[in-house]
Amino acid sequence: MLKSKMGAAAIGAVLTVTAIGATAHHSFATEFDRNRPVRLEGTVSMFEWVNPHSWIHIDVNRNGRTERWRVEGGAPSALLRRGWNRNSLPGGTRIIVDAFQARDGDTRASAAEIRFPNGRELSLGNPTTEAVAAAARRGQ
């Protein structure tokens, strides 16, 4: 009987963790608005190499005020395939991000690519955002 109670508890724990992970993940269209593109030029304050999505925190000067934006990228596994590593964006790095703003107006965005002042580009590995950006370029 103890084994069956332990087994039931283990199954319950797995289901709880799975449910939490499922609610933490979201679709692009639920959180971001493809009709609200935004260009962010600023300085990286932090790069989070985490699942399910990486995050770049960037300080952007707007109208003489500094805003901290959080830009969602792909999972670390997707970034690795595109040549990234956890040290690719050290604090203080200047970047330009073309992104899609959060629906709720918060300073959050989802981006497909970033550029550096020297013109070099890197994909953030978010397939949904990459598809939205490609459709926008085609005028769809």
pLDDT averaged per 10 residues in sequence order, the chain, 140 residues = 53 45 60 92 96 94 95 90 90 94 94 87 69 63
Report the pLDDT value the prediction gives residue 121, as an integer from 0 to 100: 87
Report the pLDDT value the prediction gives residue 133, as an integer from 0 to 100: 59
Cβ pair 83, 122 in contact under 8 A: yes
- Read off the pTM: 0.71
Q: Which domains does the chain have, with CATH numbers?
A: 27-138 (2.40.50.1010)
Report the pLDDT value the prediction gives residue 67, as an integer from 0 to 100: 96
Report the pLDDT value the prediction gives residue 137, as an integer from 0 to 100: 64
Indicate the pairing of strand 32-48 with strand 65-72: unpaired
Q: Where are the beta strands (DSSP E) in the chain?
A: 32-48, 55-62, 65-72, 94-102, 108-115, 121-123
Q: What angle do CA 123, 125, 128 make, to 5 degrees?
A: 115
SS3 state of residue 103: coil
Give the rounded distance of the alpha carbon of 129 from its chain centre.
10
Q: In 25-51, which ranges are continuous DSSP H helix?
A: 28-31
Report the pLDDT value the prediction gives residue 18, as an integer from 0 to 100: 42
